[in-house]
Amino acid sequence: MTLLALQNGTGFEDDLRAILRERAEVRFGVSFAGATMKAPGVVEDWGGEAIVPAGPPFEALAAAWTAAGLPARALADVEVRRWEKILLNCFLNPFSALLEARNCETIRPEWRPLRRAILKEARAVAEVRGVALPHEDELLESFERRSLGSRNVNSMLQDLQRGRPTEIEFLNGAIVRLAARDQGQAPANAAVAEWIRRLERTPADRSSELRQQAVADLLSRRPGLE
């Protein structure tokens, strides 16, 4: 049996393989589809597609999903696409959560230095794992253009609004842990991850004040990043 995982982020792969052991081969894909849960059973679809590994079983799956109205493609470079999505989520999701804003509303010039540093650190982690990605400046430009066209409320903000744990440990938090494993550091990712953790622990009626503190702290780091 083969299990296809489309979960965001990284740092869960070995755990998933260990849980399944000999019961299933685990393969990984990625979903670029955006959606907002408006109410139980009511989902607003923002479009996007899934990328699955190349090969006959996955090509048939992609064709079936596409025929059902869920666009999907089978590609040989699926691991590169996974890491592109990881970097996009690290670049975008914490800022939406901190600013309580749609994706497109977070693209502000004052955040560019911090976001560039986040991408540079995450790109270095991917490179150690044999995944070659474009330069962080190219990624920054690409992600900004893509995000300006996205009115989606991303999952990290939705989780905080509902009082649920976020994916931060599999996004920026994972980059910090993997960088440390590589004998490196990821201070920009560490800073945003810590503020999201604090928001997870903060009651809703006090979150506005904490968000203001987070924004002030993160923007104060800008001179050292420019």
CATH number for the domain that contains residue 37: 3.40.50.720
Does residue 90 sit in the same domain as residue 174?
Answer: yes
Query: Same domain, yes or no, for 183 and 122?
Result: yes
Q: Examine the domain organization and report whether 195 and 133 are in the same domain.
A: yes
Region for residue 119 given its phi and psi (left: phi exceeds 0; alpha: psi -120 to 50; beta: otherwise): alpha
- The answer on 215 and 127 residing in a single domain is yes
End of a domain among 45, 75, 105?
A: 75
Residues 120 and 206 placed together within one structural domain of the fold: yes
Count the domains in the chain: 2
> Both 54 and 112 in a single domain?
no
- Count, residues in the chain: 226
C-alpha to C-alpha distance for 212 and 216, rounded to whole angstroms: 6
Q: Quick one: 105 and 188 in the same domain?
A: yes
Instruction: Name beta bridge partners: 44.
Output: 36
The pTM (predicted TM-score) of the whole model is 0.93
Last residue of a domain, one of 52, 75, 98: 75
| Residue 59 and residue 85 in one domain | no
Interior angle at CA 92, CA 199 and CA 144, nearest 5: 150
Q: For the segment 49-73, what is each residue's pLDDT rounded down to a tens digit? A: 999 999 999 999 999 999 999 999 9
- What span, in angstroms and rounded, lies between the C-alpha atoms of 198 and 179? 22
- Does 40 have pLDDT greater than 90? no
CATH number of the domain where residue 220 is located: 1.10.1040.10
Which of 201, 131, 139, 212 lies closest to 166 in space, CA to CA? 201
Whether residues 128 and 192 share a domain: the answer is yes
Residue 88 and residue 193 in one domain: yes
* pLDDT digits 0-9 by tens, 75-118: 999 999 999 999 999 999 999 999 999 999 999 999 999 999 99
Q: pLDDT (tens digit, 9 = 90+) per residue, 148-165?
A: 988 888 999 999 999 999
End position of a domain, from candidates 57, 75, 93: 75
pLDDT for the residue 115: 97
Do 137 and 54 lie in one domain? The reply is no
pLDDT in tens, 182-191: 999 999 999 9
Name the residue range of residue 189's domain: 79-224
Instruction: Please check whether residues 24 and 93 belong to one and the same domain.
Output: no
Q: How confident is the model at residue 226 (pLDDT cuts 50, 70, 90)?
A: low
